[in-house]
Structure formats: C-alpha cells, structure tokens
Amino acid sequence: MKSEPNIKAMLPIAVFVLLYLGTGIIVEYGMGIEMGFYKVPVVGVFLIALLVACLQNRKLKFNQKVEIMAKGIGNPNIVMMILIFLCAGAFVGIVGRSSAESVAYFFLSIFPPEFAIVVLFIVAALVSLTMGTSVGTITLIAPISIFVADATGFGIPLAVGSVIGGAMFGDNLSFISDTTIAACQGQGCRMKDKFLENMWFAIPAALIAAVIFAILSVPNYTGGVIDSDYNLLLIVPYILVFVASIAGLNVFLSLILGMISGAIIMVASNECTFIDLMGNIGSGMSGMFETSMVAILVACIVALVIEYGGFEAVLQWIKKKFKGVRGGMFGIGLMVGVMDVSTANNTVAIVMANPLAKDISESYGISSRKTASILDTVSCVFQGLIPYGAQVLVALAAIDIAGYSYSAFDVLPNIIYPLVLLVCLIVSIMMIPKNAE
C-alpha cells in the first residue's frame, strides 16, 4: 500500500543538501581551503540527515523505524552494490599506477606529436574505462598531460581539459565504475545492457569531442617530441575485465579474473612484492569504504522517506510538469543533475536518485537500462563541469604541483566532452518516436 503524498517527508534530503553544499562552499571559497568540499565528512552529514528522518513521523515508534531502515539496507541491490564496490576497489589497488602510465606513453609513442591533445583525450577515456574511476584517471594522467603540453607547446588548460573529458567518458561507460554499479543495481538492469544503451550517444559524443580537440590543437603545434618507457603487459588485466564484461560474464567473475591476472603480472614483472600487493588490495578496498557507508545510510534515509510519502509527493509533481516518456526521461535527468550539483559526487547523486528514478521509470514505461543510462550520463556530465567537483580540483592540484597557476575557470572552457555528451543525450531522447509516448 502506497503512503499518502507528503512533501515534508523530503526534509532529510533537503537538510543533507543544504548542510553539505553550504559547508562545502564556506570551506572551499570562504576559508580558501583546497579541496574544501572533500574536507566535509559526507558520512557525518548523512548521519545528521538520518537523525532528522528518525525525528519525523511521531506516529511510528523508533523500533518500527529501525525495522523500515533494516529492510532498506537489506535490499538485494544495495548488498550487491557494496560487494561490487569492494571488488572493484581491490582490482584497482592491484593494478595501480604503472598500468595507466603504460597506456598513456604507448599511445603517445605511436601517434604524431601534433595529435597529442587528441591522444590524451583517448588515453584518459581508455584508462578510466578500464579502471572505473575518473578521479583516479585524472590523478594519473593529468601530470603526464602537463609534461606533454610543455613538450609540444599546447596550452596546459587545453591538455588538462582533454584529460578530464576523457576521464568522464570512461567513468560513464566503465563496467567497474561506482556510478555504473550504482545505476545498474539501483534500476535492476545488467551492466552490459546499460553499456549498450549508453554507447549509442557516448561514442558519437567522444568522436565529435576528438575532432574539436584536433581543430583546437593541431594548427597550434610548435614542435617537440614525447618519449618515455612503457610495459604493455601491465595493460592485460584491464583488457581481460573489459572483454569478459562485454561478453556477459558475471561482474564478480570478471573482477576476480582481473585481480588474479593483475596480481601475477605485477609480481612477475617486479612492479611490486607479494607483501606490497596485499597492502595494495587492502588500500583499494579501503578506498571504497566511505562509498559503501554512503550507500547504507542513503538506503536508510530513502526507506523512511518512502514510508512517510515523500517520494510519492515528488512523483506527483513530476507527473504534472513532465508529460510522456520523453518528459519522464528529462525529469530523471533533471533530478540526478540537481543532486550532483548539490553533492559534488556523482555516485552519491545516483544512489540518492535511484529509488525515485525507479518509480518514475515504472510510471512512464521507461526501461531500466535507459533509466540507468540517463542517471549515469547526466551525473557524469555535471560532475565533469562543476568547478568544485573532485575531478576539476584534482586536475588543478596537479597543475599547481607542476608550478603553474590556473583557475578552474581557465580549465572549464576546455572540458568539451561532457557538454557534447549532454547534447547527444538530449538528441537521443528527442529522437524517440512520439507514438512511444
């Protein structure tokens, strides 16, 4: 039985957004602390929001609310999501930095240096696609892009912007990206199906962005050579995970295959010792602990909000404002976009938006794979463009370490891919036949 619509039940989510966004702005811009948004303890803010949810609806006893939260946490999709998060973290911990650098220098060695900006975009896309992390990709490839810009005469903002755009391509499509995991598990669709849904507009967007980067860079090439060592053997674990996932192999088995092959290659090639490898696995999994805790806390809050009728009220509003299948898709996109701008974290935005997006998709007859695709895509678009997002901040930190001074607003105009991706997504939605509505 559905609860009566009650917009006041959305208060815990509003409290989270105001506290997190407000504190982040004060710390980042008011106090001038670097990476200020990521100094704010997101788990702590979610705990405050959960407390607000528990204080609402006096008709229910606290023990009853605990039972509701327990059912939310016990959702099979939440359990599966957390397990995949941990496995993905272990895989990235095993393969480490060397693999990404090998991909970068291999591609830079086989293409003419005047196409270096385009190559950086492609490399960042491939590394992020296989690693499943845009922030990790930017951390590894941004310093290389600065070296390339110095060697070839291309502007640093353009080089770094190409890396950020490529990283968002991979984050959106990767089988082991936390955004993909969250969107697919939340909507109950296979990652392969979501990938196939995404590729129809993500790949054209990438090709258009690559052409734009070529137009902006090739005529401005001033000479210079890029040369560094690489080991192609280190790329094998990524390829195995990607191919296995595309072939439809269970994501756990794909990750286990990648972990085993990665561990053997890393130790056999003397990239690390067995003891170091075990530590790397632990570090990789630890990196997913906060994301896993967020998933658990959001599941608790969402379960209470649904019980109190909050999502039913929002669903009614969306039905009034957005008509037909296209309208439902735009409603889902708008919702997750607002969540991402508010939280500066695309995974958190998707986890928060998932339950309501599922209700919307069922009401409008939108497939689960399409819903997952929209959630992942729109969150990645905004995440790649907000000046206080981790992606832009990590890139700026790399520029600062290299001894240069550029602001987010120097780099943002060069982050071309997310904007092209948004246009391609809108076009794909508008191409849906009217009789489908």
Q: Is residue 23 part of a domain?
A: yes
For residue 144, what are its two tokens?
A: 């290389």
**Residue 411 half-sphere exposure toward CB, CA atoms < 13 A:** 32
What pLDDT score does 19 carry? Answer: 85
Name residue 21's amino acid: L
Q: Is residue 209 part of a domain?
A: yes
Q: Which class for 23: exposed (0-12), middle (13-18), buried (19 or more C-beta within 10 A)?
A: middle
What residues contact residue 305 under an 8 Å CB cut-off, 6+ apart?
9, 10, 12, 13, 53, 311
Instruction: Show the beta-strand stretches assigned E in 239-389.
Output: none
What pLDDT score does 229 carry? Answer: 66
Q: Is residue 422 part of a domain?
A: yes
Q: Is residue 20 part of a domain?
A: yes
Number of domains in the chain: 1
Q: How far is CA 7 from the centre of its chain?
A: 29
CB distance 118 to 213 below 8 Å: yes
Going from the first residue of the chain to its last (437 residues), give the mean pLDDT of each consecutive group of 10, the final group possibly shorter.
73 83 79 70 85 88 89 76 74 70 76 87 86 76 82 85 92 83 86 89 94 88 66 77 72 78 84 82 78 80 83 76 86 85 77 84 90 93 81 79 78 92 94 66
Q: Is residue 1 part of a domain?
A: no
What pLDDT score does 38 carry? Answer: 63
Q: Is residue 373 part of a domain?
A: yes
Place of tokens 């272990």: 90
CB distance 284 to 91 below 8 Å: yes
Q: Indicate if the alpha-carbon torsion angle 203, 208, 209, 213 is positive or negative.
A: positive
Element (H, E) at 59: none
CA distance 143 to 202: 26
The residue segments making up the domain with residue 344 are 7-436
Q: Is residue 2 part of a domain?
A: no
Q: Is residue 185 part of a domain?
A: yes
Give alpha helix (H) positions in 37-75.
42-55, 62-73
For residue 250, what are its two tokens?
A: 């269970």
